C-alpha cells in the first residue's frame, strides 16, 4: 500500500507540472510584450472637455481710511452681487474685512452698509459671513472682498505645448497631419465662460408656459379664415432695397 501511495502521488505531481507548463506556453503565445497606453484624443472637444464644477464669484470694494460708507457705484456693485447670488449662489456670501489697518474703522462701517444692501437685495442675514484678515503687503490698500460659490463651467488649462509645431521626426502630430495639442483649447475656454447656466450642458430646461393671450388671438383669426401672421405697418420705412420681392 505504501508503494502504491507513492506512485499515485508521483503521477499527480507530474500531471500538475504538465498543466502548469501548458498554461505558461499558452500565455506566452497570447502576450505581445508591449505596454498598452491611452492615446491622445484627436477631437479637441474630447482633448479639452468643458467640465461643470463649483467656483467662486467675487467682487472687491475699495475703502479709504477716511470714508466709512459706500459710493454710488459700489452700492450698485453690491446690489448686483446680491441679485446674482439669489439666482446662482450655492453657499453663503463671505465678506473678508481688514483689521489692524489704517482703514479698519472705515472698513467696519462700510461692511455694515454692505450687509444692509445685501439684505435689501434678497440675501438673508444668515447667508452673510464676515471674516477678518490682515494684509500681507502693507503698501497695498486693504479692501473688502465679497465672494460666494456657484456652479461654473470651466475648460483648460490652455497653453500646453508637449510637442514641437514644426517638422520633426519625433513629432507624430505633424507627420500624420493631426491637430496640435493646444488646438481648440481657447475656444472651449471662451465657450465655457459665456455659458449662463452650466446645467444646460447636461440637460435641457423645462418648457415654459404658453403665451395664452397671443395663442387665443391666432386661433380666433384661424377660425375666421384670416391670415394669422403678425403685420408691422412701419416695417418698410427703414428698408433700402426691394431686392428679393
pLDDT digits (tens, 9 = 90+) for 155-196: 989 998 887 777 777 776 666 777 888 999 999 999 999 998
Per-residue pLDDT of 110-165, as tens digits, reads 999 999 999 999 999 999 999 999 998 878 889 999 999 999 999 989 998 887 77
Q: In what order do the strands lie in the sheet with 51-62?
A: 51-62, 143-154, 93-98, 128-133
**Is 120 domain-assigned?**
yes
Name the percent of the chain lying above pLDDT 90.
47
- CATH value at residue 85: 3.30.1330.60
**Contact status, residue 88 vs residue 151, Cβ threshold 8 Å:** yes
Q: How many domains does the chain have?
A: 1
Kindly state the helix (H) or strand (E) to which residue 9 belongs, with its residue range. helix 2-30
Structural domain contains residue 160: no
Helical H runs in 56-178?
Answer: 72-88, 104-120, 172-175
Q: Which domain holds residue 74?
A: 56-151
Quickly count helices (H) and strands (E) in the chain. 7, 4
Q: Give domain status of residue 3, yes or no.
A: no
Q: Is residue 102 part of a domain?
A: yes
244: in domain: no
Q: Which residue has the higher pLDDT, 205 or 236?
A: 205
Amino acid at each position: 500500500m505504501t508503494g502504491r501511495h507513492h506512485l499515485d502521488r508521483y503521477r499527480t505531481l507530474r500531471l500538475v507540472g504538465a498543466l502548469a507548463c501548458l498554461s505558461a506556453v499558452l500565455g506566452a503565445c497570447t502576450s505581445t510584450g508591449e505596454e498598452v497606453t491611452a492615446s491622445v484624443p484627436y477631437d479637441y472637444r474630447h482633448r479639452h472637455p468643458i467640465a461643470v464644477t463649483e467656483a467662486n464669484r467675487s467682487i472687491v470694494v475699495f475703502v479709504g481710511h477716511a470714508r466709512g460708507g459706500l459710493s454710488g457705484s459700489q452700492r450698485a456693485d453690491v446690489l448686483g452681487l446680491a441679485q446674482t447670488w439669489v439666482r446662482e449662489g450655492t453657499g453663503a456670501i463671505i465678506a473678508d474685512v481688514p483689521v489692524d489697518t489704517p482703514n479698519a474703522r472705515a472698513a467696519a462701517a462700510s461692511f455694515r452698509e454692505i450687509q444692509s444692501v445685501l439684505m435689501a437685495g434678497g440675501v438673508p442675514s444668515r447667508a452673510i459671513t464676515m471674516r477678518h484678515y490682515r494684509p500681507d503687503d502693507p503698501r497695498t490698500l486693504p479692501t473688502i472682498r465679497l465672494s460666494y460659490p456657484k456652479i461654473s463651467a470651466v475648460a483648460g488649462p490652455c497653453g500646453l505645448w508637449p510637442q514641437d509645431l514644426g517638422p520633426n521626426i519625433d513629432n507624430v502630430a505633424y507627420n500624420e497631419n493631426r491637430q496640435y495639442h493646444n488646438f481648440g483649447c481657447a475656444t472651449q475656454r471662451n465657450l465655457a465662460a459665456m455659458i449662463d447656466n452650466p446645467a444646460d450642458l447636461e440637460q435641457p430646461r423645462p418648457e415654459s408656459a404658453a403665451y395664452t393671450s397671443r395663442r387665443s388671438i391666432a386661433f380666433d383669426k384661424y377660425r375666421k379664415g384670416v391670415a394669422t401672421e403678425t403685420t408691422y405697418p412701419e416695417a418698410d420705412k427703414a428698408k433700402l432695397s426691394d431686392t428679393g420681392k
